[in-house]
Copies of this chain bind each other. A is one copy, B any other.
Amino acid sequence: MRFEVLCRDPQTMARVGKLATPHGEVLTPTFLPVGTRGAVKSMAPWEVAGIGYRMILANTYHLYLRPGVEVIREAGGLHAFMGWEGPILTDSGGFQVFSLSPTFRVEEDGVRFRSVYDGSEHFLTPEAAVRVQEDLGSDVAMTLDHCVAYPATREEVEKSVETTLRWAERSLRARAREEQALFGIVQGGAYPDLRARSAELTAGLDFPGYGIGGLSVGEPREDMLRCLEVQSAILPEDRPRHLLGIGDPEGILESVALGMDLFDCVLPTRMARTGVAFTREGKLNLRHARYAEDLRPLEEGCPCPACRNFTRAYLRHLHRVNEMLAHRMLTWHNLTFMHRLLLDCRRAIEAGRMLELIREWRGWSSRHPS
């Protein structure tokens, strides 16, 4: 993997970069659609690529439990298994262990947990997380980290930072697959000084890229941005930074301005399934009766098939009667929206007007189209 910064915004830490992987190049900042269980929900891989996406994220936790790594390895790896030809980033599984598993226990060696599917017991070590991701054959893998809930005491966060660091060292030693880049994860809760410490120590291990975890888990937005800023200043400038799990437009733009390059989040696809379309005018909630006879597209000028073919009235009807086509079309639309947002973002950086773009989008999340 190679990463090259192509251009910087003069007023912020935002940069346009190019990430080269064994499965092709990606321009950053970019948003990665989440293929949770080996599919971006409701979308065929050629449809995701058709929007313009080059890279996706897949969840190690889910694939490890279902269908299991053996099946995917036998199929020739995750790319072949799911029919995705571009780069794939896999997370370590840690976050899902902490957020989804019915029970888990962090031990020095790793984390013991029960499967969300059938309650079976599993033990995930840093070494196992590396091995599983190598078997999956992703282009970018992540080290197993210890993510604490918010709020957490200083002592809890300190401990999680130390554990995450030890696991990062062990992950590096466990690596066997040259062509896969392993990103180190930094933690630190909502404590800026612990964030700084985690970034310094992890950067000392010289990873080819870094993931920033444990943010947007309940802390105030200003605290999140402060933590990001601290870590961004410490992490090496010539390495890509992936902000894990942030997907709201304002949050993405503000994080880009703080030097973040990669994003992933289920928000745009999950909101789609609840009947919410992201538009430049704000969030359009199709459940509102006002759209019952609205013959306009979700968003004027949007090139997605939902907007080119259907009215709000029709999509609202489909959503109300729970037709899959509604989920598909809103997912397609929201992923198109995110792709266009990141495209605008790269253009703004190139034009030196990132701050202006952030101003234009300020307040978006509380706006709604007419």
CB within 8 Å of B: which residues of A? 37-39, 41-46, 62, 66-67, 71, 74-75, 81-83, 292-293, 295, 305, 309-311, 313-314, 316-318, 320-321, 323-325, 327-329
Contacts and interface: CB of A to CB of B under 8 A. Distances in A.
A37 B323 contact: yes
Nearest to A62: B321
A201 B295 CA distance: 45
Nearest to A309: B83
A347 B328 CA distance: 36
B314 A82 contact: yes
Contacts of A314: 38, 75, 81-83
Nearest to A320: B66
B324 A327 contact: yes
A71 B293 contact: yes
Contacts of A71: 292-293, 313, 317
A63 B138 CA distance: 46
Nearest to A37: B321
Copies per assembly? 2
A208 B327 CA distance: 39
A309 B82 CA distance: 9
Contact of A318 (B39, B309, B328): B39
Given A75-B311, A310-B83, A328 B324 contact: yes
A327 to B, nearest CB: 6
In this complex, the member of A41, A292, A313, A325 whose beta carbon has the largest number of chain B beta carbons within 10 angstroms is A325
Which of A74, A328, A329 has most B Cβ within 10 Å?
A: A328
A328 B313 CA distance: 23
Contact of A44 (B45, B75, B305, B317): B305
A325 B42 contact: yes
Given A320-B67, A324-B327, A328-B328, A75 B39 contact: no
Given A74-B295, A81-B313, A324-B324, 7 more contacts: A37-B318, A38-B314, A38-B318, A38-B323, A41-B323, A67-B316, A71-B317
Contacts of A328: 42, 44, 324, 328
